[in-house]
Structure 1
Amino acid sequence: MFSKIKTCATAKEIWEKLVQICEGSDETKENKLTVAQQKYEAIKMKDGETMADFDERFSAIIIELNSLGKEYSNRELVLKVMRALPREWDVKTMAMRESKDLNKMELHDLFANLKAYEFELEIRSEAPSEFELETRSEAPSTSQPTKALAAVSA
């Protein structure tokens, strides 16, 4: 980096050179903005991705857009996140749309709410329900496919 600014005579020249090196020309900035906007428009939560990982990916894009001069309202960001979630999240996002004022919702509050819901789902999937416990105690250990096979051969 020093080799690129050592010929500059004033602090102003050094600053302008550093800005040009780090930010690029107006055309370069415009291209970076276009790419960042395409990432924003195309973002979707990936299969198997945690909400924390998705939050991190989404936030990185927003930071990049902000640094390039593009800003979105909280409402736009919240709605974008909700649209980027898989279908399994539709019930949760619909409930949030109906119960919360999306104009007042902060992005970090949305992600905190979604992370809590994700954690709750994980806990429920790990613990057997009362119905499962009752079914296990009443039914013999024979599996459903084995029972079906026995019924066909009888």
Structure 2
Amino acid sequence: MASDTFVQPAIPRFDGHYDHWSMLMENFLRSKDYWPVVVSGVAEPAEGVVLTDVQKMELEALKLKDLKAKNYFFQAIDRSILETILCKDTAKHIWDSMKKKYQGTARAKRQQLQALRSDFEMLRMKSGESVTDYFSRTMAIINKMRIHGDKTEDVLIVEKILRSLTPKFNFVVCSIEEANDVDSLSIDELQSSLLVHEQKINQQVKEEQALKALSETHFTQSRVDRGRGRGRG
């Protein structure tokens, strides 16, 4: 009898792409219930304060979580980078140091976001590009924008996609706009509708190509038959 096995999630390794890594690492630490000690640290009692037995146990539990979170950071971050972090006493120190080193200044983030917004505005579907590929390109930019703090609403993304499709989708766009309230249309619903229409268009093209090939074959055969007839005459 086969038994279900639980696969432990892999520790996200820092590969130089801080925004992506920090998102994965935060989710990983949240799943372990270590995120609070990473964000807030472990507050030591003020001098002269006497803790109760319960408070001592709670403090020791937090310190243990902090040690475990640090251990994950030590496994996630390369030694050469860890050596540049002067204070590694707590998980919070390591996290804050990585954030300062690799997230960049507020000004740099604004510049990156402006560049991404420009890419988004210039985005157009390429001739021959599939709906799936175009959505992948679009959402890759959107996700990067959101990592940098952008709050673009889904309705604006839907409208942008509808405006930037190739001419072969013009009729489809009109149909979608007439049949749906664009304000309430999700990105996934839009992609689903476009995929259905794309399949119909592709099927129509295949049928037209098959019909054209059949007509050309019939025309060629007719010429051959007429040539044979003249030869016998």
What TM-score, normalized by structure 2, do the two folds share? 0.54
CA deviations 1:13-55 (Å, max 9, x no partner) are 3222111223111111111111111111110011221111101
User: Does 1:67 find its partner at 2:147?
Assistant: yes
**1:140 positional shift:** 3.7
Quote how far apart the aligned CAs of 1:142 are. 7.8
Gaps (5+ residues) in structure 2?
1-80, 223-233
3-state SS of 2:150 partner: coil
C-alpha distance in structure 1 between counterparts of 2:208 and 2:125, whole Å: 27
Provide structure 1 residue ranges, at least 5 long, that are not aligned to the other structure: 144-154
Select which of 161, 173, 182 maps to 1:81. 161
Task: Please list, as runs of the form range in 1=range in 2, the aligned pairs for 1:126-137 lying within 5 A after superposition.
Answer: 126-128=206-208, 132=211, 136=215
Aligned partner of 2:174 in structure 1 is 94
Which residue is equivalent to 1:36?
116
Offset at residue 71 of structure 1 (A) = 1.8
Match 1:27 to one of 82, 94, 107: 107
Alignment of 1:13-24 (within 5 A): 13-24=93-104
Instruction: Tell me the residue number matched to 1:10.
Output: 89
Letter in 1 for 2:220: S
TM-score (norm 1): 0.79
Whole-angstrom distance in 2 between the partners of 1:82 and 1:119 = 17
Aligned pairs (5 A) from 1:100-119: 100-119=180-199
Work out the number of aligned pairs and report it.
139
Q: Kindly indicate whether residue 130 of structure 2 is the aligned counterpart of residue 50 of structure 1.
A: yes
- SS at the partner of 1:71? coil
Pair 1:141 & 2:202 matched: no
CA deviations over 1:37-91 (Å, ceiling 9, x no partner): 1111110011221111101000101101111111222221110001111122111
| Structure-2 separation of matches of 1:58 and 1:40 | 7
Provide the rounded CA distance (Å) in 2 between the counterparts of 1:58 and 1:69.
Answer: 17
2:205 equivalent in structure 1:
125
In the TM superposition, residue 9 of structure 1 has moved relative to its aligned partner by: 4.3
Alignment deviations for residues 94-151 of structure 1 (CA, whole Å, 9 cap, x no partner) = 111111011111001101111121111111111249xx48x939x74389xxxxxxxx
Change in Cα spacing, 1:87 to 1:10, as seen in structure 2 (3 Å) is same
2:84 is paired with a residue whose SS is helix
> How much identity, in percent, do the aligned residues show?
21
Backbone CA RMSD of aligned residues: 2.5
Kindly report structure 1 stretches of 4+ aligned residues shifted beyond 6 Å. none
- Secondary structure of 1:8's partner? coil
